[in-house]
A and B are shown apart, each in its own frame.
Chain A
Amino acid sequence: MKNALLVVASFALIFGFMFASDWYKERQAEKSSFMAQENAETFIREHSEALGSDDAKVYIVEFMDPACETCAAFAPFVKQMMAKNPGKIKLVLRYAPFHDGADYFVTMLEAAKKQGKYWETLDAMFTSQPYWASHSNPQPQRVWEFLPAVGLDMERLKKDMKDPAIAKLIAQDIADAKTLNVHKTPGYFVNGRPLQEFGYQQLYDLVQSELQAVYQ
């Protein structure tokens, strides 16, 4: 009898927890899709770099960090999805430089943007990431070895990296990440709906459901 009560109480706690989690996530999703309608600029700022057609109706907003391994792993996956649905998906990159010293790479990326080599530089950073972003032995300076291959004017890059506007833009992105409850990278929103369970399949499903909703 007493042990039965113990079992019942345990189940009640576990189910209560699961119910509360679902309820909370649902509420967060509602809140964020409301924000996507009311305050679109929290998701996409003037300075945000985007890839894909302007006519695309499905917007993937990704909060990322150039030093984040999972961001590097997801980059080709997202591009594949875009290639499979030409003109329908637009990718917007936002910064959430949570790794130590990641601002440095964001600054570098923003300076590369001024030379029109944003995506090429990002690709080079992602592919060379194991060499400079190792957790046991980070060597941020080594990233420079991989940049000339992109075709960047290195002197100009160094000069552009001193632009104070870049620090402001990073601060804005970090503030927006906080508003949108992004604590981990990459953080995805598809047309304002957050990716709740993290994973390739989950992101794929979320994008598919938005594609179907908008393009039938």
Chain B
Amino acid sequence: MSPSTQKSNMNWTVLFLCWLLVSGSTAGSIFFSSVMEFAPCVLCWYQRICLFPLVLILGVGLISFEKNVVKYSLPLAIAGWLVALYHTLLYSGIIPTSIQPCSQGVSCTEEYIDLFGFITIPMLSLFSFSILIALLLILHRRMTK
């Protein structure tokens, strides 16, 4: 195997991991809303808007390895990350809830799950988006080198 094929295989694997991450997060998000019946709040929806399309964008990028895939997916990942950060801060009480943008219906600060005593859904989202951005940046550096 030539060094260049090895390199491109590695790039494919990194992109595949990104895809696996967003697909797993999407499945988890749908599990929370459809199976466990936690109604998604406004902020959750903004994060989902950034997350769900990535399954297809990264998926198409994988099928015929598309060099520009980072350019298209990174903006969505960053937008989602920002909302997730805001949501996590709101949730943990660092930003006071009085400025929360949610109207009547579903509260953005009501706690649903509490894994191991501290992990919340917005935190999971922030975690996913952070890993995704890191992986996409690694991929970008590898490809521009």
Contact surface of A with B, Cβ cutoff 8 Å? 2-3, 5-6, 9-10, 13, 16-17, 20-21, 24-25, 181, 183-184
Please list 9 pairs of residues, one from A and one from B, whose beta carbons are closer than 8 Å in the complex, sorted by A's number.
A6-B16, A6-B62, A6-B63, A9-B19, A13-B24, A13-B27, A16-B27, A17-B31, A181-B37
CA distance A97 to B31 in the complex (A): 25
CA distance A16 to B28 in the complex (A): 10
Q: Which residues in A have their C-beta under 8 angstroms from that of B20?
A: 9
Known: A21-B35, A24-B35, A24-B36. A3 touches B63 (CB 8 A): yes
Residues of A close to B36: CB separation below 8 A? 24
Q: Report Cα–Cα, A6/B31, bound state, in Å.
A: 21
Asked if A17 contacts B37 (CB within 8 A), the reply is no
Asked if B122 lies at the interface with its beta carbon under 8 angstroms from chain A, I say no
Contact flags (1/0) for B13-38 with A, using CB distance below 8 Å? 00010011001100100110011110
Number of B residues near A (Cβ < 8 Å) is 17
Tell me which of A2, A6, A17 contacts B27 (CB under 8 A).
Answer: A17
Among candidates B30, B39, B62, residue contacting A17 with C-beta atoms closer than 8 Å: B30
Closest to B23 in A: A13
B16-A25 in contact (CB<8A): no
Point out the residues of chain B lying under 8 angstroms from A2, CB to CB: 12, 16, 62
Q: Please provide the chain B residues from 30 to 76 with a CB less than 8 Å away from any CB of chain A in the complex.
A: 30-31, 34-37, 39, 59, 62-63
Interchain CA distance A17-B29 in the complex, whole Å: 11
> Assuming A21-B35, A25-B35, is B23 touching A9 (CB within 8 A)?
yes
Q: Is the CB of B27 within 8 A of A5?
A: no
**A3 nearest CB across to chain B (Å):** 6
Q: In the complex, how many angstroms separate the beta carbon of A134 from the nearest chain B beta carbon?
A: 19
With both beta carbons as reference points, the residue of chain A lying nearest to B36 in the complex is identified as A24
Shortest Cβ distance from A184 into B: residue: B37
B62 touches A10 (CB 8 A): no
Given contacts A17-B27, A24-B35, A184-B37, 19 further A-B contacts (CB under 8 A): A2-B62, A5-B16, A6-B19, A6-B63, A9-B19, A9-B20, A13-B23, A13-B24, A13-B27, A16-B27, A17-B30, A17-B31, A20-B31, A20-B35, A21-B31, A24-B36, A181-B37, A183-B37, A183-B39
- Cβ-closest 3 pairs across A and B: A21-B35, A17-B27, A183-B37
Interchain CA distance A181-B63 in the complex, whole Å: 41
Measured CB to CB, the closest approach of chain B to A144, in angstroms, equals 26
Q: How far is the CB of B34 from chain A (nearest CB, A)?
A: 8
Q: B residues within 8 A CB of A10?
A: 23
Of chain A, the residue at the smallest CB distance from B12 is: A2
